[in-house]
Homo-oligomer: A and B are copies of this chain.
Amino acid sequence: MDKKGLLLVVSGPSGAGKGTVCQGLIRKNKACFSLSVSLTTRKPRANEEQNKSYFFVNRSEFESLVKNDQVLEWAEVYGNLYGTPRQWVQEKLGKGETVLLEIDIQGALQIKRKFPECILIFIVPPSINELQARLIRRGTDDHAIIKKRLDCVQCELQEIPKYDYIVVNDQLEVALNQVSAIISAEKCRPNRFDLQNYLQLGESTDE
């Protein structure tokens, strides 16, 4: 069997629980996953480590990486650039690791275009009403922003056909089991089966 790793892109509307799902997967089996480390031009905070929290680079370094197709997706947020480094991801995949990337929908679709073998998972909340309740409970957004986020969700849901899998995050344990099943299933894909190696292993002994 080919031991090449999987790039698992976990995405979905804000408040659907992408982060909770990724943390849950790592909690269940830390050894199986590498959480992707982003490039950023933002300044490190006191508790942040270079190459661990982020790869901190300056803007010209970032732009040069983009130019050399070394960034799988990127976006500018409040004047800072953030992106996913191709080389780091490919090194982890080469070692057979499952790289976990939590990202918004536009970023996920950018990655699928550059790296079609990645697995896109769309996390949806049980319903729009439940999503609204979660955003209110989270308390990080004011009423107007929550309203805007909910309006946005209807658009974002139209991207569902571009995804490989949809996981409804109603009960977290059920959602985690579904993502684990997706990983197991994807490891059984024919393009991961090393037929040459299999045939060598099984050379028929002529009697």
Interface residues of A (CB under 8 A from B): 1, 122, 124-125, 127-132, 150-151, 154, 157, 160-161, 163-168, 177-178, 180-182, 184-186, 188-193, 195, 198-199, 201-205
Contact = CB atoms under 8 A, between A and B. Distances in A.
A127 B178 contact: no
B178 A161 contact: no
Given A184-B178, A185-B186, A188-B178, A127 B198 contact: yes
A3 to B, nearest CB: 14
A154 to B, nearest CB: 7
- Which 7 pairs across A and B sit closest by C-beta, in order of nearness? A128-B202, A181-B184, A185-B185, A127-B202, A181-B181, A165-B188, A182-B185
A157 B198 contact: yes
